[in-house]
Amino acid sequence: MAKFPSSIFRLPPPSSPPSSGEASEAEGIADGKKLCAQNILLISLPDDLLLKILLNLSAQDIYYAASRVCRRLYYRTIRSEEFINLHLRQQTEDYGLLFGFTNNDQHYSQRTVFVSMKQGRVTVSDFYYASKSRFIFNSSCNGLIPEFDFWKPHSGVYLANPVTGQALGLPPLPKNAKFMCCCLGYAEASKAYKVALVYSDIDSGRAMRWAILTVGVDSWWRHLPTHHYSTGSTLSQLLVTEGFIHFISGDIVRTLNVETEVMTETLAPFPVYPPNGWYLSTGKSLTLVVNVEDGVFRVWEMVSGDNCYYWRKWQHQIVLGSEIQDNKDLIGTWPVGWLQQMEVLVFKVRSKNWASLVCRRLYYHTIRSEEFVNLHLRQQNDEYGLLFKFINVDQHSSQRKVFVSMKQGRVTISDYYCTYISRFNSGSCNGLIPEYNCREPSSGILVVNPVTGRAFRLPPLPANADYMHCCVGYAEASKAYKVVVAYSDGGIKPHVRRAILTVGVDKSWRHLATDHLTMCNLIGEPLVTEGFTHSIFGDAVLTLNVEIEVMTKTLTPVPDPPQMCWWFLSTGKSLTALVEVDDCGFRVWEMLSGDYDYYWREWERQIVVGSQRIREIRELCGDKDLIYISPIGWLQHMEVLVFEGWSKNKVVYVFYMVIATGEIGWIAPVSSSEEKGESYTSIGPFLPHKNTLVQLEGYY
């Protein structure tokens, strides 16, 4: 089996064009009316249009159809080096899998199959090719396959193109070679193909030796300087990715850079054993697939760092369907390769009386692509909801996470299942939430996407940090996520420090210049709007422009408001301030950006709940002891206001009111909690939030 992008790369170089006699013979065939009308139409097309048509055909279609239809077209266009390179670049993402099926009773009966993916569909086609040796499916590079006999190294090594049927013999191997493997790599910068060889040296106690040969340049094999690597282990696998060749020995991966011919040794994330771990090439990168339990697989991908390689773990699992796992005759299931750059994982399945291939479709590549994530984020631009937690103080483990949003004029309530959101959270931004323990800054900060369950750990805070709050902001112009933290530096007279970090760029926190601002040494819970973060201190709002990292102080619209009658809420897009007035009514201000500062604009009308609605709410909830309500968040950019209510027995109720109609609806408690006899005595925090697929590099 080999990773195989079909190409029409030919070896050796093309022969001369047909002689005049051959040309006249070909023209005679046309005169004999063996050239159909479609052929005449094909060769009469403009060159640029003909080139576009041919570049969209597979190598098999070009070679077996186009080259047979018109010999003149074949020699004029298809065999030219320019066309071959253009076609190769066109097929760069179209890696397929080449398999050989053998009848155990008839070793000579072998069926070759090519599995690929086109326009979202997996296609399986027979591959007709007469091999020159016993083993042909070891590796592939740009459509070329090295052929050799593992048991007979001195029978020679060939480079073959199964599409064109051409083969090139390589120089003989060292005389002391026994039991060998080889594979082919391509150096993009130097445009050179190189064959790497590993063989057992019978003169040195069968120690492994590495050699390399540049095709068309070297006339003998050059040994690689690998004496500083351990050579005692046996070679279990050779895999090829773009520009690299990987020699695998258990949990040791030796990666050869084909261009520089430098080998690097990397350890697997844990010991790998063949029954449960498989190394697979995607064509572009190396992966490790591990069977963690029956039918459940985890994936690691090898990524290139500054001077080394490291393994990055997928956070989701691959689960086989019940139609495979429930088969009582099943002997084994193991992964054999990828299609469409990790969108489809192909498995080999063996039963008591049959063997087959099973493709498991994944949407990992599409969903993770930056283009798709950004398109989805723009689609969710106005769809801010509220994310919060209900907690039973008497049962700390009883915690319910709820996401409230508004779709097509209706308020929807859904439980939120996420392994995170367990510590303190504040300031959601594009679906990312910082998670931390405000009283234990040394425990670290995670930036979490609750939808994907992926987390990014930030650098540690200064050692003297004693108490902290943080939030995430997004700088639209620079496309950068920044985490802003306010922390107390401890001591007898603690001072509040503010620091910022650009995710993926900074490796340490940068302190903000806030000496020009008069601030008390209190740390308030931050609020986030698009491009800004806000901290509230009494009658002052400190607003940080995330893009330029400048902080501005703005006074509240009503100086020194009573603490219990004043609320600041984020709509996701802007900051609002609400002040309670008579008869459970609220005045509303919205903060707007001016030329050089910020100002407040008051709504023309008040939001009035009214004592009559309060009585209705008490009757609906069946709790006459409901004594207090307060606003906690907005939906649909200030179309719906969400409230929490408290009763004398400390039970929390959450409801919403549609501003335009005054309609009241319930969020909690709900029927499920009532049936279980559960009641919640604590709630929060309330995060304006939208569900996205945004991801940051460096997940663990």
Q: How many angstroms separate the CA atoms of 64 and 612, rounded?
A: 83
Contact (CB, 8 A) for 512 and 499: yes
**What are 23's two structure tokens?**
């040309």
Whether the ω angle into residue 434 lies within 30 degrees of 0, i.e. cis, is no
Residue ranges of the chain with pLDDT lower than 50?
A: 4-6, 8-38, 106-109, 232, 395-398, 421-422, 670-678, 698-700
For the chain, first and last CA: distance in Å?
Answer: 32
Cβ atoms within 10 A of the Cβ of 189, count?
9
- Both tokens assigned to 107: 């070793």
Cα distance between residue 50 and residue 70, in whole Å: 13
CA distances from 592 to 424, 529, 597, 601 (A): 29, 11, 9, 7
CATH 2.120.10, applies to 372-689: yes
Stretch (H or E) spanning 81: helix 81-90
What's the residue count for the chain?
Answer: 700
- Is the bond leading into 271 cis (omega within 30 degrees of zero)? no
- Which residue shows structure tokens 């040791």? 252
- Cα distance between residue 417 and residue 121, in whole Å: 32
Question: How does 543-557 read in b/e, with b if 16+ C-beta sit within 10 Å?
Answer: bbebbebebebbebb
Residue-level pLDDT at 109 = 45
Which ranges of 482-608 would DSSP assign to H, the alpha helix?
Answer: none
Domain boundaries, the chain: 2-13+21-90, 372-689
Asked if 341 and 285 touch (Cβ cutoff 8 Å), the reply is no
Helix axes 47-55, 81-90, angle to 10 degrees: 50
Contacts of 347 (CB under 8 A, 6+ apart): 320, 324, 333, 334, 335, 336, 357, 358, 359, 360
pLDDT at residue 33 in the model = 44
How confident is the model at residue 398, as a pLDDT?
47
Classify residue 454 as left (phi > 0), alpha (psi -120 to 50) or beta. beta
**3 state DSSP class of 88:** helix
Q: What is the pLDDT of residue 67?
A: 56
SS3 of 391-460: EECCEEEEEEEEEEEEECCEEEEEECCCCCCCCEECCCECCEEEEECCCCHHHCCEEEECCCCEEEECCC
Structure confidence at residue 280 (pLDDT): 92
Rg (CA), the chain: 34
How far apart CA 56 and CA 62 sit, in angstroms, is 10
Say which residues have a Cβ less than 8 Å from residue 676's Cβ, sequence separation at least 6.
Answer: none
Region of residue 292 (phi > 0: left; psi between -120 and 50: alpha; otherwise: beta): alpha
DSSP state of 507: S
Distance, in Å, from the CA atom of 681 to the CA atom of 653, rounded to the nearest integer, reads 9
The reported pLDDT for the residue numbered 482 is 93
In a 3-state reduction of DSSP, which class is residue 77? helix
Closest CA to 421 of 436, 442, 443: 436
| DSSP H helices in 544-634 | 610-621
The strand pairing partners of 70, in sequence order, are none
Give SS3 for 292.
Answer: strand
The amino acid present at 38, given as its one-letter code, is Q
Cβ distance 637 to 629 under 8 Å? Answer: no
Cα–Cα distance for residue pair 35/150, rounded to 1 Å = 46
* Structure token digits, residue 319: 């689960």
Nearest-angstrom CA–CA distance, 75 and 80:
7
Coil, strand or helix: which one is 371? helix
One DSSP character per residue, 293-343 reads ETTEEEEEEEEE-SSSEEEEE-SS-EE--HHHHT-TTEEEEEEEEEETTTT
Q: Is the pTM of this model over 0.75?
A: no
